[in-house]
Structure 1
Amino acid sequence: MEELEIGRWGERRVREQVVRTAFTALPDHAFARMPGLRRLDLSFNELTTLPESFFRLAHLETVDLRYTKLGSPILDRLRNALPHIRVEW
Structure 2
Amino acid sequence: MTPVRTAAREPVAVIEGLRVEVGGRAVLDGVDLRLRPGRITALTGGSGSGKTTTGLALLGEYPPGARVTGSVRVPQGLIGYVPQHPAAVLNPARRIG
TM-score tier (shorter) = under 0.3
* Larger fraction in strand: 2
Query: Normalising by the residue count of structure 1, what TM-score does the alignment of the two structures yield?
Result: 0.24
Structure 1 or 2, whichever has the larger Rg, is 2
Query: Normalising by the residue count of structure 2, what TM-score does the alignment of the two structures yield?
Result: 0.23
Larger RCO (CA within 8 A; separation ≥ 6): 2
